[in-house]
Structure 1
Amino acid sequence: MTLMEQACYMCVVCVDRCFSVALRVLGPVLVCVANGLVGLVVYMYLGVLMPEYMLPMLGMCPTVVIVCFGLFLLFNILFNYWSCVLTRPGWPGHYLPSTDDLEEGVDFQDYGEGWRACKRCKTGKPPRTHHCSVCRRCVMKMDHHCPWVNNCVGFYNYRYFCLFIVYTAVGCAYTALTCLLPLVASRGRMPAHHQTLVFVFVLTLSILFALTLFMLWHGYLVATNQTTIEFYSNRMDAADAKKRGQQWINPYSVGMRPNFEQVFGMSRNVLTWLLPSWRPPPGDGMDFPLNPSGQWATGEMRAV
């Protein structure tokens, strides 16, 4: 390695460490911001929208029904958010021996195909496991590190993350539609002390737009049994295979419904996936069902 390459490498390492430290500091702040925004929306909804606009315009019974639905959404938003914050994504170091404890000559590849050893954690890395520089640990089936939950999104809390996105998007659409009542009633000339409703309306619409993109993205990832990290590596593997006239198949994609069941659990009724539950996903986060037609990125690929 030349001196220039060493300097570039050290710069990349320095930037990565600074970014990781920044996320560790920013994480708790963003958790407070997220809960503060939820509190503001709830206050404006129950303290202003309901008594001053919904009751006079809709009456008691419709208002009670609408508010109960809103409270149902609020409960699921907070349940899934705090479950994602407080649930460990899965760290293989809790289940595997340290490399220092292994006998000389023992290799983690003996555990199975796709296993490696992490030099920083000094433990084994099962398939689909990646090291998070922010958490400073290996995370099983790591999708990404989310500063808004101050946690990695991985095997054990990915379900909570997906449901949080879904319920928050529905809650934002619900709140934005409700905010139209005072805007219509006042013909755009709201009292000065109610101008915060305009901010809530714009805020919920903005969040709804962003979360809609997230829902589509993670819905695709769940349906194809990929993580965000795997998506990019899989695209590169597929592109390399195509250049050689071959086809690369994701070895973990075993069908749309089984793919969803690996995240949301086994159920006869898919609607139960939306219900709050602390039941862990099936499996242990270290071994996954394989598609017999799929190929490892390092394995042989079949010709088209």
Structure 2
Amino acid sequence: KMDHHCPWVNNCVGFSNYKFFVLFLAYATLYCVVICATVVQYFIKFWTKELPDTHAKFHILFLFFVAALFFISIVSLFSYHLWLVGKNRTTIEAFRAPVFANGPDKNGFSLGFKRNLVEVFGDQAKNWIFPVFSSQGDGHSFVTRLVHIGPEQANSILQQNGKIPANGEPSPCVLVNSAPHTEDSSKETADASQTVAVTMDSEP
């Protein structure tokens, strides 16, 4: 499972470290919020000229703007990856859909929002916010949606569940009536529907 190569951390992000990458974005977003929250009071005093006229006020100005700019960029990237986690989709799959037997499908690995979170963060919610590896799977084989199985596999599954008889030819039934629909009855119905009454008036 390959997500993307991140030049900011100088490493490739994949199955083994994707959870850590998402948590890194969450921690960085929270850190920017803390910086802006603690510096905003001094930033307001800077604009109202209540701070002492020293070089330190420019440090406060620089710190606030850098934290705000990083917050905007990181929170957008963090939101995008949360959306990818909810879809159980990688960055590469978002730009190029994976190809299955029935064709390309971006949602081929989507198992529902809750199960998608479990695939990345694990089945123990208490470990989601901590940097410990808890992702599901081995990184090579993943569960896909049922719609991607072939017709033969679908028939075998339905036969196991008793939905289709062993011969693979379910007996057709009339939708409205519970009586079985046979070939003879269908012929009779067809003959009856094709019967046309013709009357001719003879001239005197």
Give the direction of change, closer, same or farther, for the CA distance of 1:167–1:287 in structure 2 (3 Å limit): same
Gaps of at least 5 residues in structure 2 are 151-204
Do 1:250 and 1:294's aligned partners in 2 also have CA atoms closer than 8 Å? Answer: no
Give the direction of change, closer, same or farther, for the CA distance of 1:210–1:293 in structure 2 (3 Å limit): same
What residue is the counterpart of 2:95 in the other structure? 232
Do 2:120 and 2:134's aligned partners in 1 also have CA atoms closer than 8 Å? Answer: no
1:21-32 matches, within 5 Å, as none
Gaps of at least 5 residues in structure 1 are 1-140, 242-246, 297-304
What residue is the counterpart of 2:142 in the other structure? 288
1:209 to 47, 69, 72: 72
| Displacement of 1:290 | 1.5
What residue is the counterpart of 2:119 in the other structure? 262
Higher helix share: 1
2:131 to 267, 273, 276: 276
What residue is the counterpart of 1:193 in the other structure? 55
Q: What is the alpha-carbon root mean square deviation over aligned residues?
A: 2.4
Output one character per residue of 1:59-114: Cα deviation in whole Å (capped at 9) or x when no partner: xxxxxxxxxxxxxxxxxxxxxxxxxxxxxxxxxxxxxxxxxxxxxxxxxxxxxxxx
Give the direction of change, closer, same or farther, for the CA distance of 1:147–1:163 in structure 2 (3 Å limit): same
1:1-304 matches, within 5 Å, as 141-189=1-49, 190=51, 191-194=53-56, 195-234=58-97, 248=105, 250-267=107-124, 269=125, 272-277=127-132, 279-294=133-148
Output one character per residue of 1:30-87: Cα deviation in whole Å (capped at 9) or x when no partner: xxxxxxxxxxxxxxxxxxxxxxxxxxxxxxxxxxxxxxxxxxxxxxxxxxxxxxxxxx
| Displacement of 1:258 | 1.1
Cα distance in 2 for partners of 1:205, 1:186 equals 16
Give the direction of change, closer, same or farther, for the CA distance of 1:179–1:294 in structure 2 (3 Å limit): farther
| Displacement of 1:226 | 0.8
Q: Which has the larger radius of gyration?
A: 2
Moved beyond 6 Å, runs of 4+: none
Output one character per residue of 1:243-273: Cα deviation in whole Å (capped at 9) or x when no partner: xxxx946221111111111111111x3x541
Cα distance in 2 for partners of 1:249, 1:152 equals 22
What is the percentage of aligned positions where both structures have the same residue?
33
1:159 counterpart SS class: helix
Amino acid at match of 1:197: I
Amino acid at match of 2:113: M
TM-score (norm. length: structure 1) = 0.43
